[in-house]
């Protein structure tokens, strides 16, 4: 059958599930948060990458119910972990949001409903959007303001790979910059490393938090620490983990 139709049918089944990649403090390697990442285990095709099915879901509009499901599932999981593991539980839950979702006039109300249903405090939710998403937002920058007024945090994902960055930061209300992994993974002193230097200076000047993505080696972690980055993500510290794997780590830290 058609992949789009199969994705529609998969919604609400356990073919779709979330993995959680830790956000780690460079200070003490503690798990300060997790990013929810969707996975689709197709019965015949095996694991289908979200890089393939999210664009499809965006084209068909299925991203709207799918995105609501991701958000509700992730918020509920964060609350469950806090109930079980207290302060050892990840403080924030990051959820990726597509342009199509953010453009919906009802999106802030939907998020508010999910927070009310799950009991997750708004400051524990971080919505990740891309520069491209913001550029296609148009009038719906209103939605970003509404979400931030509710106390929800907004992060610019893959920061540095999009366009019109400075204008965008001026016009668009965000709390956090996620340095794209192409800058994290460079060698000290090369051109891309210079971007890592510039981004933390920019973030400090604007009062924004930072996360450096895609840390794969101890050298990269040391370099980022020296530059002043405090929170990172990447395979060197942890891959996207199943619920059971996260709970294994939390039980050890509890
Ligand atoms: O997890 P992975 O690296 O395979 O993700 C590939 C892409 O899919 C990334 O750009 C990531 O942001 C995106 N992605 C993963 N999960 C979600 C989700 O729940 N919603 C949206 N909109 N994008 C997601
Ligand atoms: O676009 P976004 O930043 O949301 O993409 C998240 C994706 O990045 C996840 O699918 C995850 O698998 C991938 N990822 C996370 N850490 C690393 C890393 O250290 N190296 C690489 N190459 N990919 C990573
Ligand atoms: Mn992301
Ligand atoms: Na990311």
Per-residue model confidence (pLDDT) at position 14: 96
Per-residue model confidence (pLDDT) at position 164: 60
Per-residue pLDDT tens over the stretch 105-127: 999 999 999 999 999 999 999 99
Per-residue model confidence (pLDDT) at position 25: 98
Per-residue pLDDT tens over the stretch 231-241: 999 999 999 99
Per-residue model confidence (pLDDT) at position 165: 66
Percent of the chain with pLDDT over 70: 98
Per-residue model confidence (pLDDT) at position 172: 79
Pocket test for ligand 2, best of 19, 20, 21, 95 (most atoms within 8 A of CB): 21
Question: Cα–Cα–Cα angle for 127, 175, 28, nearest 5°?
Answer: 90
Distance between start and end Cα atoms, the chain:
46
Per-residue pLDDT tens over the stretch 19-52: 999 999 999 999 999 999 999 999 999 999 999 9
Q: How many CB atoms lie within 10 A of CB 239?
A: 12
pTM of the prediction? 0.96
Percent of the chain with pLDDT over 90: 84
Asked whether residue 214 carries a pLDDT value surpassing 80, the answer given is: yes
CA 75 to ligand 1 center in whole angstroms: 17
Per-residue pLDDT tens over the stretch 93-104: 999 999 999 999
Domain ranges of the chain: 23-37+65-253
Contacts of 172 (CB under 8 A, 6+ apart): 134, 137, 141, 144
**Which value does ipTM take for this structure?**
0.97
- Give the HSE-up count for residue 65: Cα atoms under 13 Å, Cβ half-sphere: 10
Which residue's C-alpha comes closest to atom 18 of ligand 2?
214
Could you say which DSSP state residue 241 is in? B
Question: Cα–Cα–Cα angle for 152, 184, 99, nearest 5°?
Answer: 40
Choose among 74, 73, 143: nearest CA to 102.
Answer: 143
Report the phi/psi class of residue 214: left, alpha or beta, with left for phi > 0 and alpha for psi in -120 to 50.
Answer: left
| Domain over 23-37+65-253 is classified CATH 3.20.20.450 | yes
The answer to whether 16 touches 74, Cβ cutoff 8 Å, is no
Around ligand 1, the residues with Cβ closer than 6 Å are: 37-38, 49-51, 54, 70, 96-98, 240
The answer to whether 140 touches 162, Cβ cutoff 8 Å, is no
Asked whether residue 139 carries a pLDDT value surpassing 60, the answer given is: no
Per-residue pLDDT tens over the stretch 60-70: 999 999 999 99
Confidence of residue 173 (pLDDT cuts 50, 70, 90): confident
166 to 21, 99, 138: CA distances (angstroms): 29, 20, 17
Which ligand lies nearest to the CA atom of residue 127 in the structure?
Answer: 3
CB of 21 closer than 6 angstroms to any ligand 2 atom: yes
CA 23 to ligand 1 center in whole angstroms: 16
1 to 7, 29, 254: CA distances (angstroms): 10, 45, 46
The answer to whether 163 touches 133, Cβ cutoff 8 Å, is no
């Amino acid at each position: 059958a058609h992949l789009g139709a199969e994705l529609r049918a998969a919604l609400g089944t356990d073919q779709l599930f979330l993995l959680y990649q830790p956000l780690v403090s460079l200070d003490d390697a503690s798990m300060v948060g997790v990013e929810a990442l969707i996975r689709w285990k197709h019965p015949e095709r095996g694991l289908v990458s979200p890089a393939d099915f999210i664009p499809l879901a965006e084209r068909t509009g299925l991203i709207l119910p799918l995105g609501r499901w991701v958000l509700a599932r992730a918020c509920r999981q964060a609350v469950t972990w806090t109930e079980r593991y207290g302060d050892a539980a990840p403080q924030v839950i990051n959820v990726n949001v597509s342009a199509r979702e953010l453009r919906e006039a009802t999106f802030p109300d939907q998020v508010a409903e999910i927070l009310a249903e799950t009991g997750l405090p708004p400051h524990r939710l971080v919505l990740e959007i891309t520069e491209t998403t913001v550029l296609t937002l148009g009038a719906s920058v209103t939605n970003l303001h509404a979400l931030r007024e509710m106390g929800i945090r907004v992060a610019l994902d893959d920061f540095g790979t999009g366009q019109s960055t400075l204008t965008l930061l001026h016009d668009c209300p965000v709390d956090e910059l996620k340095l794209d992994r192409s800058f994290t993974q460079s060698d000290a002193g090369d051109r891309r490393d210079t971007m890592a230097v510039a981004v933390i200076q920019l973030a400090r000047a604007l009062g924004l938090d930072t996360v450096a993505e895609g840390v794969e080696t101890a050298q990269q972690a040391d370099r980022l620490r020296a530059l002043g980055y405090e929170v990172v993500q990447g395979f060197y510290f942890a891959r996207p983990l199943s619920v059971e794997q996260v709970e294994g780590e939390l039980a050890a830290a509890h």
